Chains A and B, each alone.
Chain A
Amino acid sequence: MTPAAPLIEGRDLTRQFPMAAGAVTALNHASIRIDPAEYVAITGPSGCGKSTLLHLLGCVDQPSSGSLTFEGRDVARLNETERSRIRLTRIGFVFQRFFLLPMLTAWENVELPQAEAGVSRSERRTRTRELLEYVGLADRIDHRPSQLSGGEMQRVAIARALANRPALLLADEPTGELDEVTGDQIADLFDRVHADGTAIVVVTHNATVAARAGRRLAMNSGRIVAE
C-alpha cells in the first residue's frame, strides 16, 4: 500500500433494508474516503444513515450496492471469517452503549480481543496494563462494568478498541450517554488516540466532539450532503 492510498474507501454505497411495507433506503449512493491517521466526524439528524455508514465502514454490514475497500482489499470478496479478522485486528469499535461484556472485568474485556488474535500471555499482560493506564483506569482493572461509571465504561471500551493496535477507530455517539464533562474527557482521549496515529471516524450529534475532527461530513436522507 502506498502512503497515498486510502485506509478505507466506499464508492456509491447504498444500503437498503427489506421491510414488510417496502424496502427502506438507509444509505443512498454515498461515497467516502478515509486516509490513514485521519480524524473524521460525521454529523446529521437521527435516521440519516450515519450509523449504517459506520457499520459498512466497520465491515459489520455489507452494502446493497457500491464498493468498499479496506487497506486495498475489496470487502465484498471477504467471507465472514476474514471480515471478523479485520474487525479484530484492524478496526476498533466504540459505541454509545459501551457494549462491554458484563461478566468480565475491565482487564478481561481489554484482554479478550488480544487473546482471540493470538497474542502471547505476557504481551497481553503488558498491553492490557498499558492501555488501562492510558485511559486512566489502572486502579479499576478488577472491576466489572456494573461497578464502573458511564465514563469509566467508555474508557474501558476505548482501551478494548485499541487492544490490537487498529488502524481505524470507529465511534458511534461515544458521548451520547455521558454528561458534558465526562464527554469532554472522552473527546480528549480520542484526541490522544488520533495523535498517536490512529484514524478515527466518529458519528456524533455533539458539536463539540465533531469540532475536534480534522474533517467533518454532514449527512441527510442517506446521503453525504456537505464536507
Chain B
Amino acid sequence: MTKFIIAALAAALSVVSAAATDTIPAVLVSRQLAEGARLHVGDIVTIALDAQGHRGKRFRVAGIYEPTPDPMKFTARRIEARMHLPDLIDVAGAPADAESPDAVDAINIRLADPNDTRAFSASVMARAPGIFARSTARAEDGSDPFAVLDRFHFAIAIVTVFGSTAFLLALMVMRAEERRETVGIVRLIGISQRSILLEVLVEGLLIATAGAIFGVLFALATQGAINRFFQWRYDTALVFVRVTTRIALESVALAVPLGIAAGLVGSWTLLRRDVVALVRR
C-alpha cells in the first residue's frame, strides 16, 4: 500500500458508524489521533479538508499505528492518517488544478543499496532542477541538525565537567583540611610524603571508581523514568536518554582520573605545609 502522511489534519473527523463495509476505503490512523478522537479499528470516519466537512470522504479505520519517532518534531502532536494515494487525491487534491492529482510535495524513496544515496541524490538534482534530494541518513560532514545538537551537548558536557571538577576540588581541599591534624601526626612520626600520597591515591581511586560506577548505575536506573516522563510529556515514542556502553566507559574513564587528581591536589596542599603548623591548634 502506498502510504502518505498528512501531517496535520485540519479536516473534520467524525465517527458515523461501527458497521464496516468492504466498499469504504481503509485508513490507518496514528495512536495519538485514535486516542484523541476515541477511534477503534472498524470505525467509520469522515475525513474532510476543513472543519465544515468540505469534500469529506468516509473511511474505515483499518488499523492504528505508532508514528515513527522524529526528533525534529517531537513537540508536534502526531495527528496523522495514512491512506491510499487515490483516496488522498480525492480528499486533498485541488480540482481546479489539472495536475493536482500528480502533484506531491515530497516523497521518500528507499534505495536497494543505501550506498548509492549520494550518487542518486546528485543524479536527481541534476536531472530535475528545482527538486532537492537528500539522504535521511546523517550527513557525514557534520552539517546535519543532529550534529549541531551533538556539538551543543558536547559543549554542555564540557562545562558540566569543568564545573563539577571545580566543585570536587573544593570539596577535596576542604576534606584535606579536615584531616590536617591527622596528616600532621603521621608526618610527625615519620610517615613519608610518598606513603601519604600513595594512600591518598588508593583512596581516591576507590572513591572515584565507586562514584563513577554509582553514577553510571544511577543513570541506568533513571533513564527509564526520564524517557517515560518526556514520552508522556510530548506524547511520543522518542527515546530521549540512552546510556550506552560507550557513554558509561567514557564517564568512568573521565571521572576516575579527575577524582584521583582532585584528591592528590587536596592532599598536596597539606603535604607542602610545615609539619608543626599542621598539628598546632
Contacts and interface: CB of A to CB of B under 8 A. Distances in A.
Interface residues of A, number: 23
A81 B192 contact: yes
Contacts of B195: 116
Contacts of B181: 99
Interface stretch (A32-40, A86-94, A205-213): A86-94
A55 B274 CA distance: 11
A125 interface: no
Given A99-B185, A101-B185, A55 B276 contact: yes
Interface residues of B, number: 17
Nearest to B194: A81
B275 interface: yes
A160 interface: yes
Interface string B47-77: 0000000000000000000000000000000
Given A93-B188, A99-B185, A101-B182, A60 B193 contact: no
A47 to B, nearest CB: 14
B153 to A, nearest CB: 43
Given A55-B276, A60-B276, A61-B274, A84 B185 contact: no
Interface in A88-122: 88-89, 91, 93, 95, 99-102, 112-113, 116
A23 to B, nearest CB: 16
Looking at B181, B274, B275, B276, the one whose CB has the most chain A CB atoms below 10 A away is B275
Interface in B186-221: 186-195
A80 interface: yes
Interface in A40-94: 55, 60-61, 80-81, 84-89, 91, 93
Contacts of A93: 188-189
Looking at B193, B194, B276, the one whose CB has the most chain A CB atoms below 10 A away is B276
Contacts of A113: 189-191
Contacts of B182: 101-102
B161 interface: no
Contacts of B279: 95, 99
A89 B274 CA distance: 20
Contacts of A116: 190-192, 195
A84 B274 contact: no
Secondary structure of the B contact surface, majority rule: helix
A28 to B, nearest CB: 18
A61 B189 CA distance: 13
B92 to A, nearest CB: 78
Contact of A60 (B191, B192, B194, B275): B275
B194 A87 contact: no
A84 B187 CA distance: 7
B280 to A, nearest CB: 10
Nearest to A91: B190
Nearest to B281: A97
Contacts of B194: 81
A24 to B, nearest CB: 14
Given A61-B274, A61-B276, A88 B185 contact: no
Nearest to A82: B192
Nearest to A83: B190
Nearest to B181: A99
Contacts of A85: 190, 192
Given A84-B187, A100-B185, A161-B189, 5 more contacts: A55-B276, A84-B192, A85-B192, A112-B189, A113-B190
Interface of A: 55, 60-61, 80-81, 84-89, 91, 93, 95, 99-102, 112-113, 116, 160-161
Interface of B: 181-182, 185-195, 274-276, 279
27 contacts: A60-B188, A81-B192, A84-B190, A84-B192, A84-B193, A85-B190, A86-B190, A87-B188, A87-B189, A87-B190, A88-B189, A88-B191, A88-B192, A93-B188, A99-B181, A99-B188, A99-B189, A101-B182, A101-B186, A102-B182, A112-B186, A113-B189, A113-B190, A113-B191, A116-B190, A116-B191, A116-B192
